[in-house]
Amino acid sequence: MAFNNNIKIHEQFKVVPPSSTQTTTIPLTFFDIFWLKFHPVERIFFYTLPNSQSHPTFFFQKLVPSLKSSLSLTLQHFLPLAGKIVWPSESPQPIIRYTPNDGVSLLIAESDADFNRVNEKSPHEASLSRSLIPHLESTNSFASIISIQVTLFPNSGVSIGISAHHGILDGKSSTMFIKAWAYLCNKTIETEEDSPTLLPDLQPSFNREFIKDPNQLGVTFTNNWIEIMSKKFPNEKVNKKSLKIVASEPKLENSVRATFKLTSEDLNKINQMVLAKWEVFDENESKPHILSSFALACAYSLVCFAKAIQGVEKEKKKFAFVFAVDGRRRLEPPIPNNYFGNCVLGHFIDTQPLDFIKEDGVFVVAKSIHDKIKIINDKGVLEGVNERFSKYTSLSSEGFQIIGQTGSNRFGVYGIDFGWGKPTKVEIISVDRGLNIGLAESKDESGGVEVGLVLNKHVMDLFSILFHEGLCIN
């Protein structure tokens, strides 16, 4: 047994798909290569359980076996996730390779931390959740695709932590996998079926022929990564085919983690405020009737975020925002909704450096997000993508604070039930690896949005004041 931050590791399993004897290989598309070296997406689902189900005896004798067996059943539908990313010497780009007996790491752990403290949405130590997330292995020669940790909080609840390689899964795909696992786990508990069938909308398609690459973006992005690695490690001979993830270290010291909620009423207030200024600032352009919840939640949170950082760290004034855009329905022809893999690219909004901290920042940023989505819908998700890496590098070198976004308020994460009820909280832990906001739908009401973030304690205090005061709009 190993111990780590109130955590006792009981067992580590390699969960393999049942009766799979064939080696399978799948190429990476340019969408995958775009994210190849990014840090994993790390997410935790918290479940409150009655005492009987969260008692160690019940947990180890009943819940763990059903989670293991249903994970194995799920992997037979998602076979590549049990494999690894490799880069054969004869291949210009990495591939996914599954060979028989490959599997997914599943850690079974126990925590003596206060479940209510870890589970709360108000600010708490950023490090508390970190021990509930498993390490995702990546080396020069291979990278794992997912790893999972199930942690028991005796007589309180459980958490399920998942690390997913961003070069293989976007948020929609990783959520589909977790939904499929939960569905099969629920079915095996309910019906005691040995091999229940998966719902059609949870059956993944790994067909890479849907993604066309006439402009050789895969080659461009591969070369971009090689160049970035050479600059990052100028004194080392860069292994061009290294699959080691370049993960930013989590910001944990003096940092707190919190989740803020925007109700549908809050979003409606922000929408009215933005539209009231639309004609004043841009009388020649017809205003929309309503902005998307995504645009409103992002704009409001980003402005509070930027003003809080600038309020505490006076020298930080220049901000930029990059958000992930799903290409599934924006490609020609559109690709199936159940396509499994990356189909998102990062897009910067067109703002000026100081727009985020201006008095009318929420209007300016909301309009910029709305306008950028309109441009992408008109011109396609690949618009300007060739310059994405160079733009990021140039903004960073000019001292911009680049804020990113992860998750979505459309994934339906609060509906994921493994057989013991819906989550009490879902948290994207990897927002602590940079300046990021994590989005999810509201647990409590239809149409609301949750925003998760990790900030320095003093910055979070100011963010909280700005966030709550700004919603007191008459």
Contact 319, 307 (CB under 8 A): no
Q: Is 237 within the bounds of a domain?
A: no
Q: Domain of residue 63: give its range.
A: 2-232
> Does residue 247 form part of some domain?
no
Q: What is the DSSP letter of 79?
A: G
pLDDT at residue 332, rounded to an integer:
87
239 lies in a domain? Answer: no
The pLDDT of residue 193 is 67
pLDDT at 3: 35
pLDDT for 321 equals 98
> Domain check: are 205 and 281 in the same one?
no
**Residue 166 appears among annotated catalytic residues:** yes
Phi, psi of 406 (to 5 degrees): -140, 160
Domain co-membership, 215 together with 263: no
- Whether residue 238 is contained in a domain is answered as no
Evaluate whether residue 242 is within a structural domain. Answer: no
Contact present, 162 and 179 (Cβ < 8 Å)? no
Instruction: State residue 188's pLDDT score.
Output: 83
State the pLDDT at residue 191. Answer: 66
Provide the pLDDT for residue 284.
67
Domain boundary among the residues 197, 232, 267 is at 232
Q: Which of 114, 360, 371, 417 is catalytic?
A: 417
Residue 90 to residue 158: CA distance in whole angstroms: 45
Domains in the chain, number:
2
pLDDT digits (tens, 9 = 90+) for 105-134: 999 999 999 999 999 999 999 999 999 999
If asked whether residues 192 and 46 sit together in one domain, one would say yes
> Do 225 and 322 fall into the same domain?
no
Same domain, 412 and 316: yes
The whole-number pLDDT of residue 198 equals: 93
pLDDT at 299: 98
Contact by Cβ (8 Å): 169, 342 = yes
- List the catalytic residue out of 39, 166, 347, 370: 166
| Residue 240: inside a domain | no
CB atoms within 10 A of CB 99: 15
417 as an active site residue: the answer is yes
Q: What is the CATH number of the domain that holds 399?
A: 3.30.559.10
Show the low-confidence residues of the chain (pLDDT under 50).
1-3, 474
Instruction: Please give the model's pTM, rounded to 2 decimal places.
Output: 0.96
Amino acid, single-letter form, for residue 410: R
